[in-house]
Each structure stands twice: as structure tokens, then as C-alpha cells.
Amino acid sequence: MIEVRDINKSFDGQQVLHDISINFEHGKTNLIIGKSGSGKTVLLKCIIGLLEVDSGDIFYSGQCFTTMGQKEKKQIRQKFGMLFQGAALFDSLSVEENVRFKLDMFTGMSNAEKKERVNFCLTRVDLEGKNKLYPSELSGGMKKRVAIARAIVLNPRYLFCDEPNSGLDPQTAILIDKLIKDITEEFNMTTIVNTHDLNSVMEIGEKVVFIHEGWKWWEGTNKEILETENNELNDFVFATRLVKQLKNIDEI
Amino acid sequence: MTLLHHIGRYTLLIKRAFARPEKHSIYYMRLIREMEVLGINSTGIVAIISFFMGAVITIQTAYNTESPLFPSYLIGLAARDSILLEFSSTIVALILAGKVGSNIASEIGTMRVTEQIDALEIMGVNSAGYLILPKIIALMILAPFLSILSMVIGIFGGWIAGTTVGVVTTPDYVYGIQYAFIPYYITYSLIKSVVFAFIITSVSSYHGYYTRGGALEVGRSSTMAVVHSSVVILLFNLILTQLLLS
């Protein structure tokens, strides 16, 4: 479980996050949603420690991450898996080398064991046989799947995904969502997904947190989101004419 | 204040770069790769420029000392000292600042703006150490060899040009490059090349590592890396010359 307590963050005197407290549940896909510029990426970067919070604490399974030394932070980060918005694959490495990177760096596995593990992860994301390709030879969806394979290679306890569906067509986006949900259950991880894709909310949002102008505005499940009376959340969810029409049809 | 900010941040980055590696074998592999990219791949440009600079120095010296008072072997001596003292270390370092410095800054800068450095940090890898340390060590190892290559080819270029144009004979040129030879000049030049290699790689890495924004900023970082590396090289050339030759 990841606990976020009273987090505040500002840049050049402008406060971006205000007293955010959230419990991200273990074994579930937790979603952070909100408009562009609402502060959800800053929140995710604070949670994983890429940005330092001004005040507040973050706990990983009860261990306070914010007050940890660099050495302890490095150790806990080895339990992280991260899927970046642009996949962030290492350009100079092949698909296999990208996925194998953490095995090379942090384990004493033999080459045969590493190969087996890499192939398992690539098969898990339906990319078997693509070992020798380079990131420049992959489509957007394939890059995301390689990034997922790289994220799960060391059996992480925590998985973070920043806008996993950005730039993908709807069908591929659904595949990526399903993959994230499946591996969360399979590897029994705590997963946090940062998104503004409503399809993702409905497909995989076991717990949803809505961030509005840097405040935690609403918290619930994907079922509850359709029935909420929260005006800002309704404005966000039913922003398009199509969704509004669907809601009206549903109500009729 | 801004200068102090940059010096402080640069110092902290270099301290991080020299932290204990997570796994020595990985760093060793990267070191070998960087030696090829930064050092071996620079031999061509160093050789070409050294050849022509040696040729130009010899011809210019010859035309500026056309007097019966100056024996022609002085052409070889002047070419040798110019090449050993300044050209093979300082000018080659300035050339490398352009080639290697921009390469390092754009590579690390691109990794920064495409979140690859963030990915390394999230994995628990010391990104500064992983990316910067092998580059610094690789060029510091190979810079003296590039410097020696430059000396040899520069003097050879001077001989070819001098004898082809007819401003100096081979015996005079050979006598000149041996005349009043001070072996310490080579040591002096090699020490400078090692220091300059550290400056090129560390300053360029600093600019790449702290790139913010997109492709435009990567280009700007690359330019700043070359400019700042060159200025620092010239500053340290002055300091080292005073320290080592006084």
C-alpha cells in the first residue's frame, strides 16, 4: 500500500498541490484523473520521488519515503516499475537489452536465466521474437508494451503509469489498459495510473482519485463516478457531446 | 550569483558521478563503448587537422624567417615546439570540445527530455554515475594517445609541406626537430591533455544533464557545452602553463 499524507508542492511561489492525502490500495489499479494542468503529473512525480515535496509524507508499506536516505531510496526504487508517457526506452539499446537492463544491473543471474526471464516478459506483453529490434523500429503501442515488460522484469511491488494511453489509437489503448490491469492482479502489485482517458477510468479504475486545481476533489470507484453530484467531476467526465448523449440515453 | 549556482551544481553533479558504481562490469562495458565513441572515432579528425596545422606552421615559419641570420633548421625547431607545447594539447582539445562536447551534451540532453534519465533514477540507478563517469574516464585515458598522435602527424605534416614547397630540406628539418629538445615538453603536453579531457567531458555532461524543455533546448545545451568547455580550456591552459613551465 502507498499512503500519501498532506502533500504540498509549489514552484516559484505558485502552489501546485494542496494538502493531498490518498491511500493507494494494494493489489488494485488506482487511477489519478484530472484535467491537463491539474497537478496529477506533479503528484505522481512526488510519489515516486522525482520531485521533492514541500511538506507532507509518503509511505511505502509503512516506510516513510520522504525522510529516507539516498541509499534506502535506491533500494525501495528497485521495487518500482514505471511506464512513462513516451515509454522512455533507452534508444541505444535493443528491445532485449532494454528489458534486461535491471537484471544486468541488480541481479547475479546467468545469461541463460536472464534470457529466459526477458522472453517470459516479452511473451507476457505479446512481443515474443522482437528481441533484436531497436526502439526507433517500434510503433507507439509496441514501445509502451516494451516499457511494461521492462517495468515487470524484476517482479515490482509498485507500478506507476503516466498517461499510458497518450498517442495511442482506441483499440491499442484498450489493450494497454487490459495489460496493466492483468499484470497488477498477476504480480499482486500496487498500481497507480495517471490518466485523463475516461475509457481507462471505466475499464480499469478500481479506485479513482480526481485532482482539480491541485486539490483532491473526489475519491471513489469507476461505478460511483457516473452517479456523483460533484459538479467539477461531472464537467470533466461528461465534457464531450457524445458522452453527454450517452448519459441522457442511459437516464431515459 | 548565477556563476556560483552553476559551479555549485556542477560540483555536486561530478561528486554524484564519482559515487560507487552499482555494478562494475556494466560500467566497464560502458567505458569500452565510450572509448570507442569519444576517443577512437576522433582519431580521424585529429589526424587530418594535425597534418594540415603542422604543414601551415612550417610554411608560415619559413616565410617569416627568410633571413641569412636564421639557420633553416630553426623551421623544424619552431614547428616542433609549437606542436608540442600548444597545438597537440590545447588546439586538439578545442577541436574535441566541438566534436565530443556537442556529442555528449546532445546525447545526455536528449535522454533528459525524453525521460530516459528519469527512468534510470526510478530503477534505482545513479544516472549521473552511469552516464557521465564512463565518458570522463574514457576520454581521460585516450586523450594522451590522441595528443601523441597529433604530435607525430603534425611534425610529419610539417616535413611533407616544408620539403614539397622547398622551404626546408629534410636534413635541416630533422636536425631542427631534434635540436635543443626538452623531453619535459611532452610530459607537459600530456598533463594538459588529461586535464582538458576532464573539462570537455564533465562540462558537456553538465549541460546535457540539466537540459530542460525539448529539442530546441537540447541544441542550446549542445552549443553552451562547446562554448563553456572552450572557455574553461583556455583558462586552464593559462593556469597550467604558469604552474608547469614556471
**Model confidence over B124-175: pLDDT tens digits?**
899 999 999 999 999 999 999 999 999 999 999 999 999 999 999 999 999 9
**Which A-chain residues 129-188 have CB contacts (< 8 A) with chain B?**
160
Q: What is the mean pLDDT of residues A174-187?
A: 88
Contact A50 B122 (CB under 8 A): yes
Within 10 angstroms of residue B205's Cβ, the number of other Cβ atoms is: 27
The pTM score is 0.88
Does the CA dihedral B205-B210-B215-B221 come out positive or negative?
negative
Contact B23 A105 (CB under 8 A): yes
Superfamily (CATH H level) for A2-251: P-loop containing nucleotide triphosphate hydrolases (3.40.50.300)
Using pLDDT thresholds of 50, 70 and 90, give the confidence band for residue A175: confident
* Residue for grid cell 534486461: A100
Report the distance separating Cα B128 and Cα B15, nearest Å: 9
Q: Which chain B residue's Cα is nearest to A162?
A: B115
Contact B115 A88 (CB under 8 A): yes
> Residues in chain B whose beta carbon is closer than 8 A to a beta carbon of chain A?
22-23, 26, 110-111, 114-116, 118-119, 121-126
Report the residue of A45, A68, A82 to disrupt the B interface, i.e. the one with the largest count of B CBs within 10 Å.
Answer: A82
| Distance (Å) from the alpha carbon of A75 to chain B's nearest alpha carbon | 7
Q: What is the mean pLDDT of residues A224-235?
A: 80
Closest CB to B118 among A74, A88, A102: A88
b/e sequence B193-204, b meaning 16+ C-beta within 10 Å? bbbbbbbbbbbb
Q: What's the complex ipTM?
A: 0.86
Instruction: Spell out which residues of chain A touch residue B23, defining contact as CB-CB under 8 Å.
Output: 104-106
User: What are the sequence ranges of the domains in chain B?
Assistant: 22-245
Using pLDDT thresholds of 50, 70 and 90, give the confidence band for residue A244: low
Using pLDDT thresholds of 50, 70 and 90, give the confidence band for residue A241: low
Average pLDDT, chain A: 88
Inter-axis angle of helices B184-209 and B102-113, to 10 degrees? 20
Q: Which chain A residue's Cα is nearest to B122?
A: A77
User: What are the sequence ranges of the domains in chain A?
Assistant: 2-251
